[in-house]
Amino acid sequence: MLLINDLPGMFARATLSASKSEFGAADLTIHFERDTVSGGVAFDNRGGEALGPLRVVADLKLNNLLSLFERTALMVAQAEGQEMQYASISHEQQLGREGTKIKIDYSALRAEPENLSFIPLEQEVESDSANLIVSHPMIRSRKQNLYLRTGLTMHNGTTRLFGAKMIDEQLRVARLGLTYDRIDSSGATNLIDVEVSQGLNGLGSSENGDLLLSRADGSVDFSKLTLYLARLQPLSSHWSLLATVNGQYAFDDLLAPELFGYGGEAFGRGYDPSEAVGDHGLAAKLELRYSNHLPFSTPQPYTLYGYVDAGRVWQRNETPLDDDTTITSAGLGLRLSLFGHVSAAVELAQPISHPVAAEGSDDARAYFTLSARF
């Protein structure tokens, strides 16, 4: 049943009823629903100062149109003033009957970051990435799941200043990871994700020492390890506590696309995306939640929350100019479901340890998100 519900656009539920043909027996009936087309649009102000805070994101999913249990997905995003444009397409295909999946995706980013100093740099960024990922559920149950995945990433990135090419690099990366989740006796949901990444010197990659690499000492044949831990602990019928940790350890100097970034929606919400970056990194977050329903004729779920997060990055080869202090922020927010398929969120985030680099200020920052799904 769980593997059926894992199929794109498929929803299945089972019911038991007394057998009409055999006394004392029961009939199992499986009810299917199909969602051929789904998608949504979201509008928020989390884009950061460099690319413009306001952004629009839209996605479309086409499920099982070929009756092969496949999914094709499209996504586009744009920041205000066309300072950032992003598009991606992906195709996911079932392999066999044991839950194995193969996914291929391609994404393109074009950006002209806003000048944050008095010098007009006329910066232009182009980034193209493709991924091939194969995943398989080693364990699939209501209590616990274990997924194994392997993949290959191909990334080409270019940065120009005043029209002159300053960065031109190609990365080819093999990845191996696993994700395990389990519901324990207290009702808490626990998740761990581990991934090993190995850069490849070949398949069209840049050469080590190339003058157009994003970091002079960066290695195309790097090795790194990432770890993500999360626990959602129910405290009562309405209260819960989310604790998450994200970390990275690099065995070689990394190029820019593989650096650990702190700041943005997941960790460091009081700061712009990737406010601090480094070869190594560690981030943690605690979020206390209160969930209930508004007393309307059709109850609308909402969640009030407060959080504190902290993060730190390190370079493998530290210099006196590197700032390796811990960056912290805290905030309050509300997530609310409106009219069934429409949802909204507001958040007030306070930078604590550092002013926001792009603004030179540690004033509280207000965020909003408005989204609709179909």
- pLDDT tens digits, 308-330: 999 999 999 877 666 667 899 99
Angle of CA points 221, 258, 330, to nearest 5°: 155
- Tokens representing 260 are 């650990």
Give the lowest-confidence range in 20-34, 78-92, 305-319: 20-34
Average pLDDT over residues 332-341: 91
CB 206 within 8 A of CB 258: no
State the pLDDT at residue 242.
99
What's the mean pLDDT when you consider all of the chain? 91
Name which of 157, 171, 60 is nearest 111 in CA terms: 157
Using one digit for the tens of pLDDT, what is the confidence trace for 208-260?
999 999 999 999 999 999 999 999 999 999 999 999 999 999 999 999 999 99
d(CA 169, CA 192): 32
State the pLDDT at residue 360.
86
State the pLDDT at residue 66.
83
State the pLDDT at residue 135.
98
State the pLDDT at residue 359.
85
State the pLDDT at residue 252.
97
pLDDT band at 110 (very low <50, low <70, confident <90, very high): very high
170 or 118, higher pLDDT:
170
Residue 291 has pLDDT above 70, yes or no: yes
Level-2 CATH architecture, domain 38-373:
Beta Barrel (2.40)
- Tokens representing 267 are 């960790």
State the pLDDT at residue 338.
86
Q: Kindly give, in sequence order, each residue whose CB lies less than 8 Å from that of residue 208, ignoring residues fewer than 6 positions away.
A: 201, 219, 220, 221
Using one digit for the tens of pLDDT, what is the confidence trace for 42-54?
999 998 877 888 9
How far is C-alpha 352 from the geometric centre of its chain's CA atoms?
A: 24
